[in-house]
């Protein structure tokens, strides 16, 4: 438990430091690569929505404004920026500082749970996915837009060479395996699509609550 708390504190410290500049740093990849994927992922959602690792709120521009939205993140500085975005986009949102591995919500509470570029930073991502499944109602949607190790050999080798320094600086694992993480959490993969050199993955999964 002490190791887990230290890992969470380290991630929180990194993202608190980077919060002010985060949107500027990721703007090119968001504009050219991710914004259309984010829109496609969240526009259809309705009802009670939870987003883990909400960060500065990159998805908030695309949610419908009639949803009931809760966003959680380990970084309070990131959440402050997300709150301002929600107000700008007319979304009534509840933002909470919370550990994605120990969600403070009852079983089956949400109609959909979303994770975008989060599993690469959570210390124990399988546990985080199990928690996502626990708080999602039966028949609800579990949606992921994640990155990880490319399925293209040359690209994967380049990632391997950068992975150590990248993790120290950003708290982000370049060699994450989202499909394996989600499957290891006991979920059934409904849809899985790779894009941009096989690095990014869009995934929809379902869970049998009797097995989570």
Decide: residue 58, CB within 10 A, 0-12 exposed, 13-18 middle, 19+ buried. buried
The CA distance from 128 to 49, in Å, is: 16
Q: What is the pLDDT of residues 131-148, one digit of tens each?
A: 999 999 998 999 999 999
CA 130 to chain centre: 13
Q: What is the structure's pLDDT at 211? A: 44
Exposure letters 64-96 (e unless 16+ CB within 10 A, then b): eeebebbbbbbbebbbebbbebbeeeebebebe
- List C-alpha distances in Å: 99 to 50, 91, 124, 183, 197: 13, 23, 11, 21, 31
Q: What is the pLDDT of residues 122-132, one digit of tens each?
A: 999 999 999 99
Q: Tell me the mean pLDDT in the region 192-201.
A: 97
Phi first, then psi: what are they for 31, rounded to 5°? Answer: -70, -45
Other Cβ atoms within 10 Å of 17 Cβ, number: 12
Q: Give residue for tokens 């694992």.
A: 173
Q: Tell me the mean pLDDT in the region 16-32.
A: 92
136-147 vs 200-207, strand pairing mode: antiparallel
Other Cβ atoms within 10 Å of 41 Cβ, number: 21
Q: What is the structure's pLDDT at 66? A: 93
**Which class in CATH covers the domain with range 2-211?**
alpha beta
Please say if the pLDDT value at position 96 is more than 80.
Answer: yes
Q: What is the structure's pLDDT at 209? A: 55
State the pTM of this model: 0.91
Contact 83, 18 (CB under 8 A): no
Domain residue ranges of the chain, discontinuous segments joined by +:
2-211
Decide: residue 35, CB within 10 A, 0-12 exposed, 13-18 middle, 19+ buried. middle
Contact 174, 166 (CB under 8 A): yes
Q: What is the structure's pLDDT at 1? A: 45
């Amino acid at each position: 438990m002490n190791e887990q708390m230290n890992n969470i504190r380290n991630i929180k410290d990194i993202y608190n430091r980077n919060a002010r500049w985060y949107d500027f740093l990721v703007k090119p990849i968001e504009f050219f690569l991710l914004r259309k994927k984010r829109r496609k992922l969240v526009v259809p959602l309705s009802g009670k929505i939870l987003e883990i690792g909400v960060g500065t709120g990159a998805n908030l521009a695309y949610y419908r404004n009639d949803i009931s939205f809760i966003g959680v993140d380990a970084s309070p500085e990131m959440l402050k920026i997300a709150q301002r975005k929600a107000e700008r986009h007319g979304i009534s949102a509840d933002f909470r500082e919370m550990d994605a591995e120990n969600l403070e919500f009852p079983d089956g509470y949400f109609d959909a749970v979303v994770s975008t570029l989060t599993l690469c930073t959570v210390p124990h991502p399988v546990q985080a996915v199990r928690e996502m499944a626990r708080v999602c109602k039966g028949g609800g949607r579990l949606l992921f837009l994640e990155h990880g190790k490319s399925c293209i050999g040359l690209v994967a080798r380049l990632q391997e060479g950068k992975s150590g320094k990248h993790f120290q600086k950003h708290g982000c694992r370049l060699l994450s395996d989202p499909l394996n993480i989600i499957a290891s959490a006991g979920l059934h993969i409904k849809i899985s699509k790779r894009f941009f050199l096989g690095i990014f993955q869009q995934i929809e999964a379902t869970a049998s609550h009797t097995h989570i």
